[in-house]
Amino acid sequence: MKTLNLPVSVFIFSFFMLSLTGCKPSKSNLELPSVFSDNIVLQQNTDVVIWGKARPGTEIKVSADWGSSSSATTAGDGNWQLKLATTKAGGPYNLSVVAPDTSIIIKNAMLGEVWLASGQSNMEMPLSGWPPNDTILHSAEVIANSENPEIRMFTVTRKTSAEPLDDVTGKWEVASPENAGHFSATATFLPKS
């Protein structure tokens, strides 16, 4: 076994640097649930609720390209929540969620109508169907012509839990021939008014 003969100055410098890092204030640990991510659609012309987690007592500020901003302070349990005013349908916009030491930028957000589609297999069935037996009439044509940057879908991955959960697994996807095939068929054909 070899021993290292380091000069005392290296040891003192290393100890000094470790001491300094230990003195830094702890990070805010800013977190957002997965629904607040790139490509999100927020309801137009209202006050939308945005929430997350951070170290207790952390000041959080959310600002949006459409000109709205709001702030909140994290409660003792690490949760924060605020309301952000939205305007008429439009976009794309960016939202900035900022703590003193961290920034999260949500890109390509749209303002418009948000529909919640929930159910069992009838709602889960994708636009491409479940071939070879369970297919959707004209789905190949609909998927091929699905390019529309104003339509987005957030699909929640199934998970069972006996307790309420703080977050889900999922992501926002923009309608395109590459991903529309796994969008909910029922949600895709909801009446557009």
Residue 101: CB partners within 8 Å, gap ≥ 6?
25, 27, 28
If one counts every other C-beta atom within 10 angstroms of the C-beta of residue 154, the result is 17
- pLDDT band at residue 179 under the 50/70/90 scheme: very high
Instruction: Tell me the C-alpha to C-alpha distance, in Å, between residue 86 and each of 1, 5, 44, 94, 108.
Output: 66, 64, 6, 13, 15
For the entire predicted model, the pTM comes to 0.81
**Is residue 192 very low, low, confident or very high in pLDDT (cuts 50, 70, 90)?**
low
Which of the four pLDDT bands, split at 50, 70 and 90, describes residue 105? very high
Look over the chain and give the mean of its residue pLDDT values, rounded to a whole number: 87
Q: What pLDDT, in 10s, does the model give residues 35-83?
A: 999 999 999 999 999 999 999 999 999 999 999 999 999 999 999 999 9
Report CA 145 to chain centroid distance, whole Å: 27
> How many CB atoms sit inside 10 A of residue 162's CB?
4
Domains in the chain: ranges and CATH? 27-113 (2.60.40.10), 115-193 (no CATH)
Sign of CA dihedral 32, 33, 39, 43: negative
Distance between CA atoms of 106 and 177, rounded to whole angstroms? 24
Which pLDDT does position 191 carry in this prediction? 63
Amino acid at 98: V
Is 111:135 a contact under the CB 8 Å cutoff?
no
Of all residues in the chain, the percent with pLDDT exceeding 70 is 85
